[in-house]
Copies of this chain bind each other. A is one copy, B any other.
């Protein structure tokens, strides 16, 4: 079979052959352009060159498509964060910073995914796959926080879960408020990445993870 369902003349045969994927691609294009609210099922169908009823063979309704985009977004997000964490190399502190940068880079470079994930108003309870993908993303932050906490003497050690929630909230707040694909809602005196890095640095110093204001390059060499 022709994978895209097209003959030699370029016209599509009765069956598309890959409609599900085509709809998801269309959704990403459209969400990136007009936000998750502006995305319409009919547009996606037109984009894929099928009738407006065809998408219902692959998704129960419009929301299920968005949920699938969000799920894929979380999978990709988790991959990016895991790659940035790199098992804590070269050292937990530098790796933690890399995760923060990867977080904002994802929000900036994949606004469609990020919108579907956090701004589409999806219910995570109704969709175990979505919940699981979201959990996997969060697990990276959790893991990184564990590693950083482990650096502290047990009596000063904060709850790693709390620390990961703080990191997540700060990252998400900066991403939502200042680092959207459209350039952000508000002018900043610094790049979002710098804002996040400075914030986490101050936070970690407050925890005592960093004894002194520290040169990260020196830190890298030490590890």
Contacts and interface: CB of A to CB of B under 8 A. Distances in A.
Interface of A: 35-37, 118-119, 121, 124, 158-159, 161-162, 165-166, 168-174, 176-178, 185-186, 188-190, 195, 198-199, 201-207
24 contacts: A35-B121, A36-B37, A37-B37, A37-B121, A124-B186, A162-B190, A162-B195, A162-B198, A165-B174, A165-B178, A166-B199, A169-B173, A169-B177, A169-B178, A169-B195, A170-B199, A171-B173, A172-B177, A176-B176, A199-B203, A203-B206, A205-B205, A206-B206, A206-B207
Copy tally for this chain in the complex stands at: 2
B185 A174 contact: no
Contacts of A121: 35, 37, 119
A124 B202 contact: no
A188 B164 CA distance: 12
A158 to B, nearest CB: 8
A159 B198 CA distance: 11
A205 B209 CA distance: 12
Identify the 9 closest CB pairs spanning chains A and B, nearest first.
Answer: A206-B206, A173-B173, A169-B173, A205-B206, A202-B206, A172-B173, A166-B199, A169-B174, A37-B37
B166 A176 contact: no
Nearest to A202: B206
A193 B176 CA distance: 20
Contacts of A118: 176
A205 B205 CA distance: 8
Given A162-B190, A173-B176, A206-B206, 19 more contacts: A36-B37, A37-B37, A37-B121, A124-B185, A158-B202, A165-B195, A166-B170, A166-B199, A166-B202, A169-B174, A169-B177, A169-B178, A170-B170, A170-B199, A172-B173, A202-B203, A203-B203, A205-B206, A206-B207
